[in-house]
Chains A and B, each alone.
Chain A
């Protein structure tokens, strides 16, 4: 089974609007971390935001927030007030303790912000 599933290959959003990128995960571990990365067309992988499995509050970092629903095993990224510079590929990732603390990445969602 896929550890991380991103079901939206591509998304479009109007500038200044909010957008939600979906991510579901699969783990039997109780301790895990959820991460989102941004990859612009220049190619670098940029860490955006993190949520721990025991965190009760949703993580926020500026315009990014992580909508964490533990029972549904979802960790959606919400970008508020989209900007043209948000156009990029977005990857959801999970790290648990099995089998050896490795990271699991989704296939990514390509976000295009329309002016």
Chain B
């Protein structure tokens, strides 16, 4: 398996622009997680899905952030409008169902908002 795939790997944009991050989980995994990592705040869970349904989005910082999972093999995280404080590395991860299954992380998207 190719592992979790994220695109783009790097994104540089200007404040106010819309940013869309993409994730393809490992085939057969029924959980998908979006994280944000910064030096100041560490690793933060933004939202996670089970069988394409959002379970907990309490980590989404504000209404500018939205996430979708239209099918089992694709998810997006959108920021509109973007702000400099959104600059971070965004990770997508997927896992199987039980408490005994580890998460597999994608390589991350490094977002820079100027």
Residues of A within 8 A of B (CB): 29, 31-33, 35, 37, 43-45, 47, 50, 52-53, 91, 93, 95-97, 99-103, 105, 107-108
Are B50's CB and A45's CB within 8 A? no
With A50-B100, A101-B99 known to touch, is A44 a contact of B55 (CB < 8 Å)? no
Residues of B within 8 A of A (CB): 31, 33, 42-43, 45, 48, 50, 55-56, 89, 91, 93, 95, 97-105, 107-108, 110
Are A102's CB and B102's CB within 8 A? no
Are A101's CB and B105's CB within 8 A? no
Are B104's CB and A33's CB within 8 A? no
Are A103's CB and B56's CB within 8 A? no
Cross-chain contact of A99 among B43, B56, B89 (Cβ < 8 A): B56
Are B42's CB and A107's CB within 8 A? yes
**In the bound complex, what is the Cα–Cα distance between A30 and B37 (angstroms)?**
30
Q: Cβ of B93: which chain A residues have Cβ within 8 Å of it?
A: 45
Are A100's CB and B55's CB within 8 A? yes
**In the bound complex, what is the Cα–Cα distance between A91 and B95 (angstroms)?**
17
Cβ of B52 to closest chain A Cβ, rounded Å: 14
Cβ of A61 to closest chain B Cβ, rounded Å: 12
With A33-B101, A96-B99, A101-B99 known to touch, is A44 a contact of B43 (CB < 8 Å)? no
9 A-B contact pairs sorted by A residue (CB < 8 Å): A43-B89, A47-B105, A96-B99, A97-B99, A101-B50, A101-B98, A101-B99, A102-B56, A107-B42
**In the bound complex, what is the Cα–Cα distance between A37 and B102 (angstroms)?**
10
Which 9 A-B residue pairs are closest in the complex by CB-CB distance? A45-B105, A33-B100, A100-B55, A95-B99, A33-B99, A52-B100, A47-B102, A105-B43, A32-B99
Are B31's CB and A45's CB within 8 A? no
Cβ of A15 to closest chain B Cβ, rounded Å: 27
